[in-house]
Every structure is written in structure tokens, then in C-alpha cells.
């Protein structure tokens, strides 16, 4: 597939379609991304996309489930049902906006919401009941993508590199694709076809910055990184953060809110003799993301000429400027400029993974996840006739 051709929304001029829906709710807990994708063409075309809001009460419940606590099974069951219903609502809203009937959709690929990811212990858990999605929408739904990779000895993450490789690999240039969601992950796409695709989670993306902005600004994020840009990096705090063992751990590796969270930040701040101001903490968290990503890219792909940035962090102008400063002379480019709609890449990837599952094709990359072999990912929940 050619990443230089557009995948922005376009629903005109087609007679033969291969429609799939992708659903993604990421670590940031900022809403459900829903996309309608047509795979009849190469590259696939993004027909429609929307973000369905998460009620604040449910967002708080999901965030709490990311940490150990009392009565977890009861709380998880209720959240699983509520989120499954919201996923179904998002699909139905998406189809209403396009006037495309459910009968024309091959399948839905639903990542679900990760509430616990423990690759060292060999398990991961996503909620958002796929039975309810299939029952409500009447569309075959593919979910639970991560555990089969874990059963084969892998980390269960990241899974999107296989899609990056299908869409963005080029024999002309070595690229890195950076997804800046709650966590940050990279995919190295060598120009040399003899070299394998690699990738891993580099550490925090937006999760710490968003949490700090919510706490001190009362807003879900630091728009464009403007608040961070107005502060100064607290070097002692930055040093304590970068000493975390995860950054030195060799790939394959993956992480989540279980590791990088408000308690983690509070512990690092407690190690500093002086308490920086709130704005300086935000500047430091932005620098932490930029440095940890840049160091990971240098170690994994020093000859890469281009970094394509997708995910919510692609809108953080200050973060992109810090990445450019640390990665010069590498070109740091929002993925929209290469035809990948930055806000929707992960949701499209899970539509693609659903398509791979229905075709019984492997969806993981063992060189990325550490699995012993390539395996078909996802459990299939048939739609209603």
C-alpha cells in the first residue's frame, strides 16, 4: 500500500466496496474513535470518522480499574456492559452519518478499553463487551486481539506496527511511525526489504501531561502544548523520571497506565529536593516524552530519514518542536502530510486487523511483540442474520 495516497474521508465515486468499522478507546480515555473504512482500494479509504464521548462517570470508573482496588470484578462487569453499549452506539451513529446499512459492513474490529496490561505475567485485559456490539448492530464483531499473541509468548502489544508496515513501508526511504496516544509507540519501517519491521512502546506519550493538565487547569489536555511551552524544564525532576528502568529495558516491551500514572509522577517528584511549579512540571513531562521517544528512535532506527507522527499528540505543537530539536536532521512530519489521518490511524488499524482475522491471516509481527510465531488475532462474534 502506498502511504503517499490520501486516506482522508471520501465516499464518492465507488461501486464496489469492502466496508469495515474500527473502534478504538485508548489509554488517554478521551473518547471512542469510530471509523468506516473501505478496503476495496489500495490504500484503504477512510469513508467517515467520529469520536463518541465517554461519560465522565464511566471515564473515572475505567481509570480506577487500571489500578488494583476493592470489588474489581463487580466494577469491571458493569464497565464492560456500559462500554459495549457505547461502542454499539458509536457504530450506529457512524452508519447514520453515512447512510450505509449494517448489512454492507463485513465486520467491526473493536480494540476495547485496556484496564490491565501485565505482559510480564502473560495477561492483558480489555473491556467493552463484543457480544453486545454484535447483538445491537447485527454486524460480526472481532475483538480480544491481544491475548492470542500473548499465548504465543508475545507482549500482546504493540499491534499497530503490522498495519503501519502494510500501509507505509517504502523501498525508497526508512521511516519511523510514532503514535502519540496515552502511551507512545514506534514502528521502524526499513527501506531494505530484507530487514524486519520492529517496534515497541517507548513510554508515556500524553498520559502524564493530560493528567497534570486535568489536575491543574481543569481541562482534559494542554492545547497545542501552550502551557508546557510557557514553563521551564525542571532538570532534577526530568533526571528522576528518566532513571525509570523501563526506558533501559530492551524490546520487545510494552507498557500502560499500570506503570506510568499520577502515583508514578508523585513518587518522582518526591525524590526532588525542590518542588517545581505546576507549569514547570508540565514542561518537564513534555520533555520526558520527547527525550524518551528520541532516544528509543536513535537506538532502534538511527538511519531513518523521516518520522511520521500520528495520534492525539500530533496536535501538540510544542511536543513536535521538542522532537525536532532532539532528532535533527530527521524530518518530523504529522502523518496527515503522508495521507494517514493522524487522529484515526489506530481505529483504522483495528478495522484492518478484523479484516485479517476474517481472512485467517496473521495480524501480529513476532519481531515486534516477541511472540514465537505469527498468529491470527481476535475472537469472532457473529452478527445477527
Per-residue tens of pLDDT for the chain, all 385 residues: 333 333 444 544 444 899 999 999 988 888 999 999 999 988 899 999 999 999 999 999 998 998 888 889 999 999 999 999 999 999 999 999 999 999 999 999 999 999 999 999 999 999 999 999 999 999 999 999 999 999 999 999 999 999 999 999 999 999 999 999 999 999 999 999 999 999 999 999 999 999 999 999 999 999 999 999 999 999 999 999 999 999 999 999 999 999 999 999 999 999 877 889 999 999 999 999 999 999 999 998 778 999 999 999 999 999 999 999 999 999 999 999 988 889 999 999 999 999 999 999 999 999 999 999 999 999 999 998 6
Q: Roughly how many angstroms between the first and final C-alpha of the chain, as a whole number?
A: 33
Query: Beta 175-180 vs 306-310: how paired, if at all?
Result: parallel
* CA dihedral over 150, 153, 157, 159, signed as positive or negative: negative
What's the gap between Cα 361 and its chain centre?
22
Yes or no: say if 38 and 351 are a contact pair by the CB < 8 Å rule: no
Residue 256 backbone phi and psi in degrees, to 5: -170, -165
Domain 19-157+345-381 falls in which CATH fold? Answer: Nucleotidyltransferase; domain 5 (3.30.420)
Q: Using CA atoms, how far apart are residues 153 and 372, in angstroms rounded to an integer?
A: 6
Q: Using CA atoms, how far apart are residues 18 and 37, in angstroms rounded to an integer?
A: 8
Yes or no: say if 353 and 360 are a contact pair by the CB < 8 Å rule: no
Q: What is the pLDDT of residue 385?
A: 65
Give ∠ CA 164-260-149 in degrees, rounded to 5. 45
Range(s) for CATH 3.30.420.40 in the chain? 19-157+345-381, 161-338
Q: What is the pLDDT of residue 135?
A: 98
Yes or no: say if 237 and 282 are a contact pair by the CB < 8 Å rule: no
What's the gap between Cα 383 and its chain centre?
26
Burial of 141 (0-12, 13-18, 19+ CB in 10 A): buried
Residue that the C-alpha cell 449494517 belongs to: 102
Identify each DSSP E strand in the chain by its residue range. Answer: 19-25, 32-38, 45-52, 105-118, 123-127, 141-143, 175-180, 183-189, 198-204, 306-310, 331-334, 379-381
Yes or no: say if 159 and 185 are a contact pair by the CB < 8 Å rule: no
Q: What is the pLDDT of residue 4?
A: 35
The model carries a pTM of 0.91
Considering the domain 161-338 in this protein, what is its CATH number? 3.30.420.40
Q: What is the pLDDT of residue 214?
A: 95
Q: Using CA atoms, how far apart are residues 276 and 233, in angstroms rounded to an integer?
A: 9
Burial of 295 (0-12, 13-18, 19+ CB in 10 A): middle
Amino acid at each position: 500500500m502506498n502511504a503517499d495516497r490520501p486516506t482522508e474521508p471520501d465516499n464518492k465515486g465507488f461501486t464496489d466496496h469492502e466496508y469495515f468499522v474500527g473502534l478504538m478507546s485508548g489509554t488517554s480515555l478521551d473518547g471512542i474513535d469510530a471509523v468506516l473504512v473501505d478496503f476495496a482500494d489500495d490504500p484503504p479509504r477512510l469513508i467517515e470518522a467520529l469520536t463518541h464521548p465517554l461519560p465522565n462517570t464511566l471515564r473515572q470508573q475505567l481509570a480506577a480499574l487500571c489500578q488494583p482496588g476493592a470489588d474489581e470484578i463487580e466494577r469491571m462487569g458493569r464497565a464492560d456492559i456500559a462500554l459495549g453499549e457505547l461502542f454499539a452506539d458509536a457504530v450506529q451513529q457512524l452508519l447514520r452519518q453515512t447512510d450505509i446499512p449494517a448489512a454492507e459492513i463485513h465486520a467491526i474490529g473493536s480494540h476495547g478499553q485496556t484496564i490491565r496490561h501485565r505482559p510480564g505475567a502473560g495477561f492483558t485485559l480489555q473491556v467493552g463487551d463484543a457480544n453486545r456490539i454484535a447483538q445491537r448492530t447485527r454486524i460480526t464483531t472481532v475483538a480480544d486481539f491481544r491475548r492470542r499473541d500473548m499465548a504465543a509468548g508475545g507482549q500482546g502489544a504493540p499491534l499497530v506496527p503490522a498495519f503501519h508496515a502494510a500501509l507505509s513501508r517504502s523501498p525508497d526511504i526508512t521511516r519511523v511511525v510514532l503514535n502519540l496516544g496515552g502511551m507512545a509507540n514506534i514502528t521502524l519501517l526499513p527501506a531494505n526489504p530484507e530487514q524486519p519491521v520492529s517496534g515497541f512502546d517507548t513510554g508515556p506519550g500524553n498520559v502524564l501531561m493530560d493528567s497534570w493538565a486535568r489536575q491543574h487547569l481543569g481541562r482534559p489536555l494542554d492545547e497545542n502544548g501552550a502551557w508546557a511551552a510557557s514553563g521551564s524544564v525542571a532538570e532534577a525532576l526530568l533526571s528522576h523520571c528518566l532513571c525509570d528502568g523501563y526506558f533501559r529495558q530492551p524490546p520487545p516491551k510494552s507498557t500502560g497506565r499500570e506503570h506510568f500514572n499520577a502515583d508514578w509522577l508523585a513518587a518522582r517528584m518526591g525524590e526532588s529536593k525542590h518542588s517545581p511549579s505546576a507549569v514547570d512540571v508540565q514542561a518537564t513531562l513534555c520533555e520526558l516524552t520527547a527525550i524518551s521517544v528520541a532516544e528509543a528512535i536513535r537506538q532502534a532506527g538511527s538511519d531513518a530519514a523521516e518520522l511520521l507522527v500520528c495520534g492525539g499528540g500530533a496536535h501538540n505543537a510544542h511536543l513536535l518542536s521538542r522532537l525536532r530539536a532532539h532528532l535533527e536532521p530527521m524530518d518530523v512530519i504529522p502523518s496527515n502530510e503522508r495521507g494517514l489521518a493522524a487522529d484515526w490511524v489506530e481505529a483504522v488499524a483495528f478495522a484492518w486487523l478484523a479484516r485479517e482475522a476474517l481472512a485467517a491471516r496473521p495480524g501480529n509481527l513476532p519481531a515486534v511483540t516477541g511472540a514465537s510465531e505469527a498468529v491470527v488475532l481476535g475472537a469472532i462474534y457473529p452478527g445477527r442474520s
